[in-house]
Chains A and B, each alone.
Chain A
């Protein structure tokens, strides 16, 4: 902030300092400034154009099906009748499973990195966790399909069927054929993928807590856990929620890994073990097969819905994160 204001004062002085600054230099300066302005505006234009172009591409589907597009579970390329409910349901459920796994684990990792680990261990562990974010999603997909799915179907899912599946009420969620591919597997893979994003935000904001606050709590005899739970977490609450929403935004739009392990089945099932579909996986799998205008338009309309939902989630995340930054006076 101070940087630019000082610089502008200096520029404001230019014509006064000596009248010899050539017109050519002034022209070059303003050309340079407008070029940069144009580039920055591009960022804005890309986002808006993406939204508008997808709304335009999906207009046929929205016009034909209206509101039924969102609530109908039909997906019939032959009869040309499309509804987005199954993919929307799959996206929401798999992301919900992902958050159930990722949020506590990320909190644990942030706790470990800020309070438990000795100093020399913090940087290498943090770098290793961030590597998880660097691995491309296609690699998660291949590993998921060839390693994790067999592991789930051989060991985890039979156990879940036998122990959780027999419970009253919630049992229906955990009963099903142990295929390996399905909502639960996709949710777990998504959870692993978003752990680095959530944990790095949590770790960063935990570090911003003023030492005096923590020291006061320690001086009163608090344990490490009490300091984290009763001082650090309340202080950073909005940013922590922001980090969680950031992870949620990632999970909602994740494509390739989910495409590999979700099963691409257009069916609604109460069981988390059954194959399903998500918005992103549907688009990835079927886009090149779309043989009619309404099919293509429905897929683009799906993309528009995904875009709008992730935009809202990410915007909330950024607003929550900037609250903390403002309080710090940054």
Chain B
């Protein structure tokens, strides 16, 4: 009697320990999230003022805002999405709809795309530096947008591919049986059905590039003043945060926190919003 009883107790104890440790690990993970968000929001809210949005980045010791960096970030992100999203949607469509005769090619592109999805962004920045900045001879906002487009691309390819594969086959068959050409079926029927998923992918891509810093360091560089156009060094919020946070000046630190607050908010709203949007659409279509 004694031995089995001890065995049962030991098994129960190990079960209990594993559950306690699992819960502790989750609390451990969540506490970092809370710590990071609280620090960013408190410091950011303290530094936030209306001048952030109206004044340009100041020299050391003066007051100022982040207006030029905000506009630069917005323009380069827009450019990134405008280049990356259409190519990504087209590539995703090819993988899901048109690659049936080249299965090996399709799977290798999916494989490469998955790798690109997690490739270090700094490397993509270096790539754009060598093919663009070095060739034209100066840093430019266009190069920054191009680097960001390379980050948007794999996100959109993946979500488009996955969403289109979820569209019921009946839709394709019904449309094709009416004699509609395939490109019209894709554009007018399948895209309409897959729109929420594709848009979510674009929003997630946008959320990812909003806080990207590393690829902009050697492409758009930075600019303390307004950029006349994108064909020259362009300020962006993440790069300004990097420069200001590493500086010894308190006024710059405070602006960096304000920038961090804005970036965090935009990213949170975009990524939470994108997921909520997808969830709502899934429920609507199920109902």
A208 interfacial by beta-carbon distance below 8 Å: no
Q: By the criterion CB–CB under 8 Å, are A40 and B172 in contact? A: no
A36 interfacial by beta-carbon distance below 8 Å: yes
User: Which stretch (A69-77, A156-164, A172-180, A244-252) binds chain B?
Assistant: A244-252
Which residues of chain B come closer than 8 Å to A225, judged between CB atoms? 14-15, 17-19
Q: By the criterion CB–CB under 8 Å, are B165 and A125 in contact? A: no
Closest B residue by C-beta to A229: B18
A7 interfacial by beta-carbon distance below 8 Å: yes
Map CB proximity to B onto A275-300 as digits: 1 under 8 Å, 0 otherwise. Answer: 00000100110011000000000001
The answer for the CA separation of A39 and B84 in the assembled complex, in Å, is 10
Q: By the criterion CB–CB under 8 Å, are B217 and A287 in contact? A: yes
Q: Which of B109, B121, B131, B214 has the most CB of A within 10 A?
A: B214
Which residues of chain A come closer than 8 Å to B130, judged between CB atoms? 53-54, 56-57, 300
Q: By the criterion CB–CB under 8 Å, are B213 and A42 in contact? A: no
How far is the CB of A202 from the nearest CB of chain B, in Å? 11
Q: By the criterion CB–CB under 8 Å, are A36 and B36 in contact? A: no
The answer for the CA separation of A50 and B132 in the assembled complex, in Å, is 12
Closest B residue by C-beta to A188: B32
How far is the CB of B254 from the nearest CB of chain A, in Å? 11
The answer for the CA separation of A192 and B30 in the assembled complex, in Å, is 10
Q: By the criterion CB–CB under 8 Å, are A36 and B238 in contact? A: no
Map CB proximity to B onto A231-267 as digits: 1 under 8 Å, 0 otherwise. Answer: 0000000000000001001101111100110000000
Which residues of chain B come closer than 8 Å to A254, judged between CB atoms? 120
B182 interfacial by beta-carbon distance below 8 Å: yes
How far is the CB of B90 from the nearest CB of chain A, in Å? 3
The answer for the CA separation of A35 and B165 in the assembled complex, in Å, is 20
Q: By the criterion CB–CB under 8 Å, are A138 and B260 in contact? A: yes
Q: By the criterion CB–CB under 8 Å, are A132 and B176 in contact? A: no
Q: By the criterion CB–CB under 8 Å, are B260 and A142 in contact? A: yes
Which residues of chain A come closer than 8 Å to B11, judged between CB atoms? 223, 226
The answer for the CA separation of A49 and B122 in the assembled complex, in Å, is 15
A135-B267, A147-B35, A253-B120 known; A54-B183 Cβ under 8 A: no
Q: By the criterion CB–CB under 8 Å, are A8 and B101 in contact? A: yes
In chain B, positions 94-118 with a C-beta closer than 8 Å to chain A are 94-101, 108-109, 111-116, 118
How far is the CB of B217 from the nearest CB of chain A, in Å? 6
Q: By the criterion CB–CB under 8 Å, are B15 and A131 in contact? A: no
Q: By the criterion CB–CB under 8 Å, are A303 and B126 in contact? A: yes
B45 interfacial by beta-carbon distance below 8 Å: no
Q: By the criterion CB–CB under 8 Å, are A33 and B181 in contact? A: no
Which residues of chain B come closer than 8 Å to A146, judged between CB atoms? 39, 43, 245, 253
User: Which stretch (B20-28, B64-72, B193-201, B223-231) binds chain A?
Assistant: B20-28
The answer for the CA separation of A258 and B268 in the assembled complex, in Å, is 22
How far is the CB of A308 from the nearest CB of chain B, in Å? 10
Which residues of chain B come closer than 8 Å to A40, judged between CB atoms? 90-91, 94-95, 99, 109, 157
How far is the CB of A159 from the nearest CB of chain B, in Å? 18
Which range contains the number of B residues in contact with the other chain? Answer: 35 or more
The answer for the CA separation of A117 and B157 in the assembled complex, in Å, is 34
A46-B150, A199-B29, A288-B217 known; A253-B119 Cβ under 8 A: yes
How far is the CB of B203 from the nearest CB of chain A, in Å? 12
The answer for the CA separation of A252 and B120 in the assembled complex, in Å, is 8
Q: By the criterion CB–CB under 8 Å, are B113 and A129 in contact? A: no
Which residues of chain B come closer than 8 Å to A116, judged between CB atoms? 19, 22-23
User: Which stretch (B48-56, B74-82, B204-212) binds chain A?
Assistant: B204-212
Q: By the criterion CB–CB under 8 Å, are A47 and B100 in contact? A: no
The answer for the CA separation of A224 and B23 in the assembled complex, in Å, is 14
Q: By the criterion CB–CB under 8 Å, are B28 and A127 in contact? A: no
Q: By the criterion CB–CB under 8 Å, are A10 and B98 in contact? A: no
Map CB proximity to A onto B105-149 as digits: 1 under 8 Å, 0 otherwise. Answer: 000110111111011111110110011001000000000000000
Q: By the criterion CB–CB under 8 Å, are B22 and A112 in contact? A: yes
Q: Which of B18, B26, B88, B131 has the most CB of A within 10 A?
A: B26
A43-B112, A108-B24, A116-B22 known; A2-B29 Cβ under 8 A: no
Q: Which 6 A-B pairs have the closest CB atoms?
A: A136-B211, A253-B120, A108-B25, A39-B90, A32-B183, A4-B100
Contacts A21-B181, A318-B114 aside, 16 further interface pairs with beta carbons under 8 A come to: A6-B173, A10-B176, A18-B179, A36-B98, A104-B25, A112-B23, A116-B19, A128-B30, A134-B271, A135-B33, A195-B29, A223-B15, A228-B18, A229-B18, A253-B122, A303-B123
Residues of A at the B interface (CB closer than 8 Å) are: 2-8, 10-11, 14, 17-18, 21, 25-26, 28-29, 31-33, 35-44, 46-47, 49-50, 53-54, 56-57, 104-109, 111-113, 115-117, 125, 127-129, 131-132, 134-143, 145-147, 192, 195-196, 199, 223-226, 228-229, 246, 249-250, 252-256, 259-260, 280, 283-284, 287-288, 300, 303, 306-307, 310-311, 314-315, 318
